[in-house]
Structure 1
Amino acid sequence: MRILLSFLQDRIEQPHPVPGYRFWEFYIKNGIDEAGMQYLEVPGADWAEGLVYAESSAELQRWKDKTWQATINYIQNNLGKIDLFLCYLYPKQIEENAIRQIQKLGVPCVNFYCDNVREFRSIPPEFKIFDLMWVPEYEALPMYKMAGIKHINLPMPIWVEPKFRDALLAKELPGATFVGSKDILREQLLSEAVQKGLDVRIGGSGWVEKGKTATSTIQVRGSLSQTLLNQYRFVQQHGLKGWAIRHSNRLQTIPVADIPTNHLFESPAFDEYTNITQNSTVTLGINRVPTYKRLNSNPLTYSRLRDIEAPMLGACYLTEYTEGLPHLYDLDKEIWCYKNADELVYKANELIKNKEKRTGLRHNGQQKSLNEHNIPRSLVLIKKTIFG
C-alpha cells in the first residue's frame, strides 16, 4: 500500500512553539517501512505549522490555502501512485473542500486523532469528512458512535527499534521512575506517593525549577469587555458545566507538599527517555488529566501513549487504571494497574522487591504490544476496512 502521509512533519530546523510532536513522524514512518508499505510526502509541506496559528486567523487560512492546494496538485500529478491519504490533523487544520477533491481523485482519507476524550464534549463535525477515523482511546468510542462517524479502534501508533525488543536485556536502574510533563494532578498524586514512602524519580517539563523570576505585586487587569469576551469564548468551547468546573477547581485546590528535589530530574532527551523507560526497575504511567469535564477530585482518565510505548520497550510497567486497559492487556500478567496513591505505593514497592514478577511483566507485556499493538497490524486492519 502506498500512503501519502501527513503526520505533523515539519520543514524547519527547530521545532514549532507547540507541544512536542516530532516523535509521531519517527514512529509512523518506521512503522510503514516495517509493514513493507511505502510512504510519500507532499514536497515542502509543513503540516505541523498549522498547529501554530489561532483558529479562524488569517495566518491559519494562508497556511491552509497553500498546503492543501499543494497536496491536491501533488496527488493530481501522481494519480495511480497513491492508495491512501493518512493524516494526523486537528479540526482547525482540516479543509473539507480539499478532502472532498482528494476523495474524488480516488484516494480514501483516514485521520488519526488521539486527544478525543480530553479535548471534546462531542466529536467535531470536521471529522465527518473522512472515510475513516483512527481512534486509539477506547473511552472515546461512545462519542464516535453517537456522532455516526465511521471509525476504527486501534492502538497508538508506536514503533521501537529492534535493538530494544528484548526485555531480558534490561539493565535495571534503582527504584521507580515517572517521565512526563508536570500538571496539578500528577503533582498531587506523586507528592502523596512520595510522602507515603515511594522511591521514585520524576522527570519532564516543569518539574525542575531553572531559576526564579521576580513577580510584581501589581496586577494588570484587562478591560471589562475583553474579560467578558474571554468568558464567552470559554463557554462556547467548554459549556456552562466546564465554566462551573473551572471555578470549582480553583476554589477547591488541594495543598500539595513539595516533592524533595532529590526525586526530580530535568527532561531527558529522546534516547535517554528510551533508556529510562526500558531500564527503570518500575516504569510508572499516570492516566489522569486536568480538564473542564471533571473536578480535580474525580479526575478524567483514559489510556495514553505510554500505555503502548512502555510495554513495547520491555518496561516493567505500572500504570493508572482506565476502562480501556483490560482491552489491551492482561492486567495480572502483562502490566499492573493502580487506582489511587495507596495502591501505587503498595504495588510499586512489591515490584521493586520481586525480580521474578518484574521479569514476567517485562516479557509478557512486550510480547503482547509487539505482536498485537504494532503499526503494521494497524495498517493492515485499516486497509481491510477501507478496501475490503
Structure 2
Amino acid sequence: FDYDLTPHTRHRDMTVARHRAFVYENRPKLEKALLAQIARAHAEKPIDIFFSYFYAADITAATLETIRDMGITTVNWYCNGSYQFNLVEEIAPAYSYCLVPEKFRLADYQRIGANPIYCQEAANPNVYMPHDLPYEFDVTFVGQKYGDRPVYIAHLRKQGIDVRVWGPRWQSEAHNLPLWRVAGSRVKRFLRGAEPLFPPRIPADICGPPLSDAELIKMYSRSRINLGFSNVADTTSGIKQVRLRDFEVPMSGGFYMVEYMEELAEFFEIGREIVCYADKQDLAAKIHYYLQHEDEREQIRQAGWRRATRDHSWQRRLSDSFAQMQLRDVTPSKPEIHA
C-alpha cells in the first residue's frame, strides 16, 4: 500500500478529542487511496488476501465490506489487544479473520461477532540470528521505560548486578531531567497506573538510546543475560503479555530471562530453553546463579535457539493460520536458517 501512514500512527485513540478530529478528517482520504489501489491491483491479477495491521482509526467496517465484496479475504493482525482491544472493537467483526496473539482475548473477539484465529508472536530467522561477538555486558534490557521496569532495574543495581538498559525514555526521563520538566507527564502516567509517581532514580551512565534493528540483534549476542518483562504498561491491570522479544532473543542466540507467565510454557521448556523469574528477588537470585554457571547458561542458550528457529518463525505461524482459513500456503516450505 503506497501511502504515508506515519501521521495516522500518532492518532489511534478515538476517545481523545484531537485524535478523533484527525481521524474524521483523514481516514476518508486513506480509505479512498486504499480502495483505488486495491481495485487497480485486483484488476491486473486477482488478490487472494488483504492483510493489514489496522485500528478503527484507520479504516471503517464499510470499507472492509467493500473489499470483501470484491471476493478478497480480509485479515487483520493486531497485537495490542491485551490493553487496547477497544481500538479495534469496531472493525474486527468486518474482517474475514482476525489474527490474535492474546489467548485470553479470543472470547472477546467472538463476543463481538468477529472470527479470531490464535496466532502468537514469532520472529524471522533470516533477520534474527546469532553473531559471533565477545560478551561485553553481564545483564541488559532493550526496550521502553515504563511500568515497574525501573523498579526492577533499581533492585538489580542494589544487589550489585551490572545491568545496562537501552530504549525510549531511559535517557531522557525524570532521573536525568529537572522535576518541573517531567512532572505533568509523570502524574498522568501515575494516574493511569503506568508507573509509580516517584520511580527510582536510574543512573544516567547505565542508560542508552534506542538501538537500530541491527544493533539490537547484535546486543543479544553481546550480553550474557538478556532480560524480558511480561507486564503491560498499566501495572494495576494484572495483565501479562507474550512479546516479540520472547522469540527474537532466543532466535538471535541470546540467553533469555523473562518474567513468568503461564502461556510462555506453551512455547518454551522453562528452565531448559529459557529461564523465568517470579519477582525482583527471584530475578536477582537467578542472575547471580547463571552468571556463575556458564556451562548451564550456554546449554540453555543453545536449546532456546534451536527451539525458536524450529518452531517460532513467522513462516510457521502464518502457515498454521492459512491452514485454519483453508487458504493456500504461499510461504516457502523451508525458510533459510543461519546458525
Normalised by the size of structure 2, how large is the TM-score?
0.81
Distance 1:147 1:248, change over 3 A: closer
8 A Cα contact 1:50 1:63, kept in partner: no
> Superposition pairs for residues 298-317 of structure 1, below 5 Å?
299-317=238-256
Q: Tell me how far apart the structure 1 counterparts of residues 247 and 322 of structure 2 sit (CA, whole Å).
A: 22
How far apart are 1:261 and its partner, in Å? 2.9
SS at match of 1:94: coil
Q: Tell me how far apart the structure 1 counterparts of residues 124 and 134 of structure 2 sit (CA, whole Å).
A: 21
- Per-residue deviation, residues 158-196 of structure 1 (Å, max 9, x unmatched): 21436x5457x4532331100111114211221122212
How far apart are 1:316 and its partner, in Å? 0.1
The residue that corresponds to 2:316 in the other structure is 377
Distance 1:174 1:314, change over 3 A: same
1:60 to 26, 32, 35: 26
Distance 1:146 1:193, change over 3 A: farther
What amino acid is aligned across from residue 325 of structure 1 in structure 2? Answer: L
Q: Tell me how far apart the structure 2 counterparts of residues 248 and 161 of structure 1 sit (CA, whole Å).
A: 39
1:284 to 215, 227, 242: 227
The residue that corresponds to 2:293 in the other structure is 354
Q: Tell me how far apart the structure 1 counterparts of residues 263 and 33 of structure 2 sit (CA, whole Å).
A: 36
1:116 to 60, 65, 81: 81
8 A Cα contact 1:351 1:357, kept in partner: yes
The residue that corresponds to 1:189 in the other structure is 152
Stretches of structure 1 that go unaligned for 5 or more consecutive residues are 1-41, 220-242
How far apart are 1:305 and its partner, in Å? 1.5
- Identity rate of aligned residues, in percent? 22
> Superposition pairs for residues 43-82 of structure 1, below 5 Å?
44-53=2-11, 54-57=19-22, 58-80=24-46, 82=47
How far apart are 1:377 and its partner, in Å? 1.3
How far apart are 1:156 and its partner, in Å? 1.7
SS at match of 2:247: helix
Q: Tell me how far apart the structure 1 counterparts of residues 110 and 221 of structure 2 sit (CA, whole Å).
A: 36
8 A Cα contact 1:278 1:313, kept in partner: yes
SS at match of 1:356: helix
Distance 1:378 1:74, change over 3 A: farther
Larger displacement relative to structure 2 (107-116 or 153-162): 153-162
Q: Tell me how far apart the structure 1 counterparts of residues 87 and 208 of structure 2 sit (CA, whole Å).
A: 38
What amino acid is aligned across from residue 311 of structure 1 in structure 2? Answer: P
SS at match of 1:46: coil
8 A Cα contact 1:139 1:323, kept in partner: no
Distance 1:308 1:92, change over 3 A: same
The residue that corresponds to 1:14 in the other structure is none
- Per-residue deviation, residues 310-347 of structure 1 (Å, max 9, x unmatched): 11111100011123211111112111111210011111
Aligned residues: 312
Stretches of structure 2 that go unaligned for 5 or more consecutive residues are 12-18, 328-339
Distance 1:367 1:248, change over 3 A: closer
Is 1:206 the counterpart of 2:169? The answer is yes
Normalised by the size of structure 1, how large is the TM-score?
0.72
What amino acid is aligned across from residue 299 of structure 2 in structure 1? Answer: G
1:180 to 117, 127, 143: 143
Q: Tell me how far apart the structure 1 counterparts of residues 244 and 255 of structure 2 sit (CA, whole Å).
A: 16
Q: Tell me how far apart the structure 1 counterparts of residues 107 and 299 of structure 2 sit (CA, whole Å).
A: 34
How far apart are 1:102 and its partner, in Å? 1.7
Runs ≥4 residues deviating over 6 A? none
SS at match of 1:283: strand
8 A Cα contact 2:142 2:167, kept in partner: yes
